[in-house]
Amino acid sequence: MKGALIGCGFFAQNQMHGWTGIEGVKIVAVCDRDPARRDETAARFDARPYAEAAEMLAAEDLDFVDIATTVASHRPLVELAARAGVHVICQKPFAETMEDARAMVAAVDASGKTLMVHENFRWQSAVRAAIDAVRGGVIGTPFFGRVSFRSGYDVFSGQPYLATDPRFIIQDLGIHILDVARALFGDVATLSATTRRINPAIRGEDVATMLLEHTSGVTSVVDCSYATRRQPETFPETLLEIDGDRGTLRLDAGYRLVIQTEGEQVRDVAPPVLPWAERPWHNIQESVQIIQAHFVDCMRAGVQPETSGHDNLKTLALVEAAYRSAADRSRIGMQAPE
Ligand code: NAD
Ligand code: 89Y
């Protein structure tokens, strides 16, 4: 498969490294309006550089594009790729509004191609070990879950827009752990949320606490914070606590998976540090390559990826609901997004 990357910024470097490990895939072209980023990435990964996505799509014979720009450009770029008739991967947050997201899904549907949102947290190997155990019925039928991400890590130096965007933690990070809650417990019936800004130097909220009632009967608490100074610093680990009618599961700090049923089973589910990866990001970096491999497997098998555009509408709807609930203190009933 021949692919092209759009957006050669901070996170795209992980995506480019990830693709080098996927057999049968080559990123032949990259595109960025910033000449330095474009040329460095093209040289590092032996790809042809372009300043404009439209120019690249016209010149190259591609199977797919991998969009790694920030959210404001996602809709025009996804629609451009749909018009060019290629499969599309788009980074999270997929869209700024539900209206944009629905239009993007419809555009790729109309082209007959596949759209996957790069929603990678559910593919982190430690998180996936927990998802597999829960889906496999190891702790019976779950009735309570906590999906938690609390950190004081400085994410602003690598991603300065996170400090200036009006929306911060739910749109940037909460979106991932809301998606993990969906992967663990299924669709959501109601959601309520509170938010706070603790760090006075940023514009958006850096703490959010969400209460979800799932249609499966599970109640989950999904909480995230970038204002939590504690040791050990767990960035970027998602911690889990799940109660089922036959036992409990915890994903504790340090990638320790604890399952208590008749007895106790403790597994080290720490991700490998891939040759191009670095701590503490190795967890996220490995999941990039795993979701890319999933995309390629799905393309070869002719099936939809787990985090297809259609699927991601449900995660995005939870983000929107959380902001609405926090603003007016309401409890939001979730409707099917389509
Ligand atoms: P960034 O600002 O460092 O990079 C974005 C790049 O896109 C810039 O170089 C910019 O010049 C380029 N760009 C923007 N619009 C363009 C256009 N129309 N055509 C060509 N190039 C264009 O951003 P980042 O920190 O790398 O984040 C990118 C996305 O990745 C964001 O949506 C972010 O939320 C997401 N992200 C995801 C994860 C994850 O784990 N999934 C982690 C970090 C960031
Ligand atoms: O942008 C965010 C993401 O998707 O994962 C972690 C992050 O880089 C900072 O919150």
Separation between Cα atoms, residue 86 and residue 108, nearest integer Å: 9
**Do 69 and 171 share a domain, yes or no?**
no
Domain assignment present for residue 192? The answer is yes
Q: Is the pLDDT of residue 131 over 90?
A: yes
Are 94 and 309 in contact by the 8 Å Cβ rule? The answer is yes
**Do 91 and 174 share a domain, yes or no?**
no
Q: Tell whether ligand 2 has an atom less than 6 A from the beta carbon of residue 173.
A: yes
**Do 188 and 327 share a domain, yes or no?**
yes
Q: Is the pLDDT of residue 224 over 90?
A: yes
Domain assignment present for residue 287? The answer is no
Domain assignment present for residue 286? The answer is no
Task: Give the pLDDT of residue 117.
Answer: 99
Question: Which alpha helices (DSSP H) does the chain contain, by range?
Answer: 12-20, 35-45, 53-59, 74-84, 98-111, 125-135, 161-164, 169, 175-185, 282-301, 309-328
Task: Give the pLDDT of residue 335.
Answer: 81
338 pLDDT band (50/70/90 cuts)?
Answer: low
**Do 98 and 146 share a domain, yes or no?**
no
Nearest bound ligand to the CA of residue 93: 1
Give distance in angstroms: CA of 235 to centre of ligand 2.
10
**Do 20 and 67 share a domain, yes or no?**
yes
Listed residues 94, 113, 132: the one ending a domain: 113
CA dihedral 229, 231, 235, 237 (to 10 degrees): -120
Give the whole-number percent of the chain exceeding pLDDT 70: 99
Structural domain count, the chain:
2
Listed residues 83, 113, 143: the one ending a domain: 113
Domain assignment present for residue 284? The answer is no
Q: Is the pLDDT of residue 337 over 90?
A: no
329 pLDDT band (50/70/90 cuts)?
Answer: very high
Task: Give the pLDDT of residue 103.
Answer: 98
Q: Tell me, what's the ipTM?
A: 0.99
Which residue, by CA, sits nearest to atom 9 of ligand 1? 9
Separation between Cα atoms, residue 145 and residue 248, nearest integer Å: 10
Domain assignment present for residue 300? The answer is no
Domain assignment present for residue 54? The answer is yes
CATH number at residue 244: 3.30.360.10
Q: Which atom of ligand 1 is nearest to the CA of 51?
A: 20
Domain assignment present for residue 281? The answer is no
* Helix, strand, coil percent values for the chain (each to nearest 5): 40, 25, 35
Are 311 and 116 in contact by the 8 Å Cβ rule? The answer is no
Separation between Cα atoms, residue 86 and residue 34, nearest integer Å: 24
In 3D space, the residue among 138, 92, 97, 140 whose CA is nearest the CA of residue 259 turns out to be 138
Are 221 and 209 in contact by the 8 Å Cβ rule? The answer is yes
In 3D space, the residue among 316, 298, 261 whose CA is nearest the CA of residue 140 turns out to be 261
**Do 105 and 129 share a domain, yes or no?**
no
**Do 12 and 151 share a domain, yes or no?**
no
pLDDT, tens digit, for every residue of 48-94?
A: 999 999 999 999 999 999 999 999 999 999 999 999 999 999 999 99
Listed residues 113, 134, 158: the one ending a domain: 113
- Across the range 228-253, mean pLDDT stands at 98
How does 14-49 read in b/e, with b if 16+ C-beta sit within 10 Å? bbbbbbeebeebebbbbbbeeeebbebbbeebebeb
Task: Give the pLDDT of residue 282.
Answer: 98
**Do 109 and 128 share a domain, yes or no?**
no
**Do 37 and 184 share a domain, yes or no?**
no
Strands 188-196 and 142-150: unpaired
DSSP string of 131-172, one letter each residue: HHHHHTTTT-SEEEEEEEEE-----TTT-THHHHSS--HIII
Kindly state the DSSP code that residue 249 receives in the 8-state scheme: E
In the sheet that 239-244 helps form, which strands lie side by side, from edge to edge?
264-268, 256-260, 247-252, 239-244, 142-150, 219-225, 207-214, 188-196, 332-333
* Residue 280: cis peptide before it, omega within 30 degrees of 0: yes
Domain assignment present for residue 127? The answer is yes
Q: Which residue type, as a one-letter code, is found at position 263? A: G
Mean pLDDT over each residue of the chain, to the nearest integer: 98
Are 214 and 183 in contact by the 8 Å Cβ rule? The answer is no
Mutate to test the pocket of ligand 2, among 69, 120, 173 (most ligand atoms within 8 A of CB): 173
> Residue 282: CB partners within 8 Å, gap ≥ 6?
271, 272, 273, 274
Ligand 1 pocket: which residues have CB below 6 Å?
Answer: 6-12, 31-34, 37, 53, 68-71, 73, 77, 91-92, 118, 120, 159, 172, 284
pLDDT, tens digit, for every residue of 14-47?
A: 999 999 999 999 999 999 999 999 999 999 999 9
C-alpha distances in Å from residue 206, one per residue of 147, 163, 209: 16, 10, 10
CATH number at residue 90: 3.40.50.720
Q: What tokens does 238 get?
A: 């998602």
Residue 69's domain comprises: 2-113
Q: What tokens does 294 get?
A: 């999933």
| DSSP β-bridge partners for residue 67 | 6, 90
**Do 239 and 325 share a domain, yes or no?**
yes
Q: Tell whether ligand 2 has an atom less than 6 A from the beta carbon of residue 174.
A: no
Give distance in angstroms: CA of 174 to centre of ligand 2.
9
